[in-house]
Amino acid sequence: MYQLAPNIELLFTEAGEYHDRVRAAAAVGFDAVEMWGPTGVDAPSTPKDLPALKAALEETGTQLTAQLAEPRTQFMIPPWDHSEFFRKLDEGVAIAQDLGCPRIVVGSGTGFGGWKRQVQLDKLIEIYRKAIAQIDGSGVTLVLEPVNVRVDHPGSLLDRTSEAVYVARGVDSPQFGVLYDIYHSAVESEDMEAELANAGDLIRYVQLADAPGRGEPGTGDLDWAERFRLLRASGYDGPIGLEYYPTTGSEASVAHIVELGRTA
Structure confidence by residue, pLDDT tens digits, 122-143 = 999 999 999 999 999 999 999 9
Structure confidence by residue, pLDDT tens digits, 103-118 = 999 999 999 998 999 9
Domain layout of the chain by residue ranges: 4-263
Query: Given this model, what pLDDT does residue 47 score?
Result: 81
Q: Which of 114, 104, 44, 110 has the alpha carbon at shortest distance from 74? A: 110
Containing H/E element for 32? Answer: strand 32-33
Count of Cβ atoms closer than 10 Å to residue 41 Cβ: 18
Give the separation between CA 66 and CA 69, rounded to whole angstroms.
10
Q: Which superfamily is assigned to 4-263 in CATH?
A: Divalent-metal-dependent TIM barrel enzymes (3.20.20.150)
Q: Does 39 score more than 90 pLDDT?
A: no
Q: What is the mean pLDDT of residues 171-191?
A: 98
Give the separation between CA 57 and CA 29, rounded to whole angstroms.
14
- Give the HSE-up count for residue 47: Cα atoms under 13 Å, Cβ half-sphere: 10
Query: Given this model, what pLDDT does residue 224 score?
Result: 97
Q: What is the mean pLDDT of residues 191-201?
A: 98
The larger pLDDT score, comparing residue 44 to residue 73, is at 73
Q: Considering the chain, what is the average pLDDT of its residues?
A: 95
**Do 179 and 145 meet the contact criterion of CB atoms below 8 Å apart?**
yes
Q: Does 210 score more than 70 pLDDT?
A: yes
State the catalytic residues: 145, 243
Q: Does 218 score more than 80 pLDDT?
A: yes
Q: Does 45 score more than 70 pLDDT?
A: no
Query: Given this model, what pLDDT does residue 71 score?
Result: 87
Q: What is the mean pLDDT of residues 61-76?
A: 95
Q: What is the mean pLDDT of residues 55-64?
A: 98
